[in-house]
Structure 1
Amino acid sequence: MKRHEQRQKAFQLLFQTDKDIVDLTNAKYYEIYQSEMFIKAIVDYYFANDESINGKISSSLTGYTIDRISKVERNILRIAISELEVHDSPVKVVIDEAVRLAKNYGDKDSHRFVNGVLKNFAVQNEG
């Protein structure tokens, strides 16, 4: 499975479990989560660090709260920041992939919003 597809599945898993709608073990693609180490690492990292990651998203937002942004955008940002923290993936690649997911799943301007938030996050966490 290509890395883009893995990011997509990780996003879909988090999307399903957002606000405890579905338990992870009952989510579609749970079997893929169990077998793909990249997906498992990102999803597990988010669940273990959800408050920290949500706080980092919140501090990268301008004029919004994390609960006010769409479920799609919120979970794309969660996957991207989790990947940046758990893997040595290049920031540009992670942002490009998040923008691609936002274009596929979000509203017409979601990709611009996701891009801006992740760039803010990257600037705040340089060094």
Structure 2
Amino acid sequence: MKKPGTRHKARKRAVDLLFEAEAKNIKATTLIAERREIYPTDDSVGTMYEYTVHVVEGVTADAAQVDAVISSHLENWKLHRLPAVDRAILRLAVWELLYANDVDIDVVLDEAVELAKELSTDESPSFVNGVLGKVAELAPQVRAAAAAE
């Protein structure tokens, strides 16, 4: 098995933060600020990867649009009924699909499926892949429109 790279670790940390923030009903960016404050005296909170901060800030800033896109691509499901970890993975991946122009769309899909394998149920990888496959069809147009602005 391939050893996970820094971006994979950063994405996994982002999913953890998004999951925790939702459970605590606070913004994930608040968690980042708290962890950065604690880290100099207590490194058990872990390092905060630059990419983690970037994507968490993006997901937080664009939360309404990201959730709307996910919701519009769910069949026979409601966003709030999904397992919380699946919501976090989908939010991260949809944000990357729409806004992370420096990340290849196939990489986003592969990473999200891998995170679902690592962190969620046996059914989650195929479910995440199915939802994101639909969103990925729109991603090039959204990215192009954003770049044109």
Equivalenced residue count is 124
Determine the structure 1 residue equivalent to 2:147: none
Mapping for residues 53-72 of structure 1, pairs under 5 Å: 53-72=66-85
Determine the structure 1 residue equivalent to 2:98: 85
Q: 6, 21, 25: which one pairs with 1:2?
A: 6
Q: 101, 124, 130: which one pairs with 1:110?
A: 124
Counterpart amino acid of 2:22?
D
Shift of 1:37: 2.1
Shift of 1:72: 1.0
Q: 31, 40, 60: which one pairs with 2:53?
A: 40
Counterpart CA distance in 1 for 2:31 and 2:133 is 34
Shift of 1:126: 3.9
Task: Say which is worse superposed, 1-10 or 14-23, in terms of deviation.
Answer: 14-23
Q: 1:19-42 deviations in whole A, cap 9, x for unaligned?
A: 544564457x93333xx3211110
Counterpart amino acid of 2:130?
G
Counterpart CA distance in 2 for 1:2 and 1:113 is 25
Establish whether residue 18 from structure 1 lines up as the match of residue 22 from structure 2.
yes
Distance change in 2, residues 1:94/1:26 (3 Å): closer
Counterpart CA distance in 1 for 2:86 and 2:51 is 21
Give ranges in structure 1 of 5+ residues lacking alignment: none
Q: What is the aligned-residue identity percentage?
A: 33
Counterpart CA distance in 1 for 2:91 and 2:140 is 18
CA RMSD of aligned residues (A): 2.0
Establish whether residue 52 from structure 1 lines up as the match of residue 74 from structure 2.
no
Determine the structure 2 residue equivalent to 1:121: 135
Q: 1:45-74 deviations in whole A, cap 9, x for unaligned?
A: 111111110001111111111111111111
Counterpart amino acid of 1:43?
V
TM-score, with length taken from structure 2: 0.75
